[in-house]
Chains A and B, each alone.
Chain A
Amino acid sequence: MHEMGIAQQMISIALEAIPKDLPDPRVEQMNLRVGRLAAVVEDSLRFCFEIISKDTCLEGAKLVIETVPVKARCRRCHHEWEVEDVVFTCPSCERGEIEVLSGRELEVASLELAD
């Protein structure tokens, strides 16, 4: 439900990253990394991005989203695994003291500009 705010932040991060001395820059693609645990609805984000990028150099840019899997590590037996369902118990020692290593990302990775 906060995808519009996220799309706004994405655009300002992009605009800040584009060198100021670049004449008439046009962004062809934005690469994002979104963890599976992040509270973001992809369709909604694409829709918001399309609307809010209008009249900026990101208008019409392709949004490429890399989904980051949820990975966890057990603090007791140090087993590392990918959490497929939402059960956060160590499958190796069946204990519960775990550390989430990835899956909450929400990052602008890079931009691809037209030459």
Chain B
Amino acid sequence: MEINIQKRVLEANESMADKNRRLFREKGVFVLNMMSSPGSGKTETLCKTLQRLMPEVATGVIVGDICTRNDADRLEATGAAVVQINTDEFGGDCHLAAHLIEKSALTMDLEALDLLIVENIGNLVCPAEFDIGENAKAVVLSVTEGEDKPLKYPLMFQVADIAILNKIDLLPYLDFNAAEAVDNMKKVHPGLPVFELSAKTQEGMEPWVAWLRDSVAKKG
């Protein structure tokens, strides 16, 4: 006997993500899902970004890690509302799923926020697969990784709406070819906007921050 099913395995996550999307729309908050491999400088980029955005753009951050609340402590210093998720309690997951985002978002005063940034768990594979109800996805690649990362992890760069190439202050000391890295990103995702910056020296920060401000403003 054959039973025909034709059901998407991630359907439960997708409907949860849709529920989140409705909630965020209702509260008028723009949600950005920020993803990268571990150590690309997501938290540092966010800290410097928040220093420029706050307090004009009221920002909240949900930060995911398997363990520790080190990132939350760094981000809280900027004055943003921060919720740390440790997936250790949920089985040491490799990504943030939509139900975890809902759980955290409901503890925040969403009415008071213009922007909610989700700093996903450092991983270039799994987070790309999980919709969390965000308005846009950003991927951060740093120049200490390889130029060919976009070709190795195509889904991440395919689903991203924008990319950041971080740590460009280190370029003089590395063999990393920034043009090739950007070219690889655009092979996988033609037309992908790429912001080349250094969170440390703050070179190149403004176009990225302007993109965020603009996205929040468009959201109304």
A1–B66 CA distance with the chains assembled, in angstroms: 13
B5 engages A17 (CB within 8 Å): yes
**Chain B nearest Cβ from A74, distance in angstroms:** 10
Contact with A along B87-102 (1 / 0, CB 8 A): 0000001110100000
What are the residues of chain B within 8 A of A98 when measuring CB–CB? 190
A97 engages B126 (CB within 8 Å): no
B187 engages A86 (CB within 8 Å): yes
Instruction: Choose one: B5, B93, B126; the contact of A110 (CB below 8 Å).
Output: B5
B3 engages A17 (CB within 8 Å): yes
Interface residue ranges of A56-104 to B (CB < 8 Å): 86-89, 95-98, 100, 104
Any chain A CB within 8 A of the CB of B174?
A: no
What are the residues of chain B within 8 A of A39 when measuring CB–CB? 125-126, 128-129, 155
Any chain A CB within 8 A of the CB of B179?
A: no
Instruction: Choose one: A18, A86, A107; the contact of B7 (CB below 8 Å).
Output: A107
B129 engages A38 (CB within 8 Å): yes
Instruction: Choose one: A10, A17, A86, A88; the contact of B9 (CB below 8 Å).
Output: A10
What are the residues of chain A within 8 A of B106 when measuring CB–CB? none
What are the residues of chain A within 8 A of B12 when measuring CB–CB? 9
B5 engages A108 (CB within 8 Å): yes
A13 engages B190 (CB within 8 Å): no
Instruction: Choose one: A6, A18, A115; the contact of B3 (CB below 8 Å).
Output: A18
**Chain B nearest Cβ from A29, distance in angstroms:** 9
Residue of A nearest to B95 (CB): A2
Any chain A CB within 8 A of the CB of B191?
A: yes
Any chain A CB within 8 A of the CB of B2?
A: yes
Interface size class of B (residues with CB under 8 A): 20 to 34
B10 engages A1 (CB within 8 Å): no
**Chain B nearest Cβ from A51, distance in angstroms:** 14
What are the residues of chain B within 8 A of A2 when measuring CB–CB? 93-95, 126, 129
Instruction: Choose one: A96, A109, A110; the contact of B191 (CB below 8 Å).
Output: A96
**Chain A nearest Cβ from B127, distance in angstroms:** 9
B1 engages A86 (CB within 8 Å): no
Any chain B CB within 8 A of the CB of A52?
A: no
Any chain A CB within 8 A of the CB of B215?
A: no
What are the residues of chain A within 8 A of B188 when measuring CB–CB? 86-88
A27–B37 CA distance with the chains assembled, in angstroms: 39
Residue of B nearest to A6 (CB): B9
Known: A2-B94, A9-B12, A110-B6. 19 other contacts (CB 8 A): A2-B129, A5-B93, A5-B97, A6-B9, A13-B7, A13-B9, A14-B5, A17-B3, A17-B7, A37-B155, A39-B126, A39-B128, A39-B155, A88-B187, A100-B158, A106-B129, A108-B6, A108-B9, A113-B2
Closest 8 CB pairs of A and B: A96-B190, A1-B94, A86-B154, A113-B1, A39-B129, A111-B3, A106-B9, A87-B187
* Residue ranges of A at the interface with B (Cβ–Cβ < 8 Å): 1-2, 5-6, 9-10, 13-14, 17-18, 37-39, 86-89, 95-98, 100, 104-113, 115
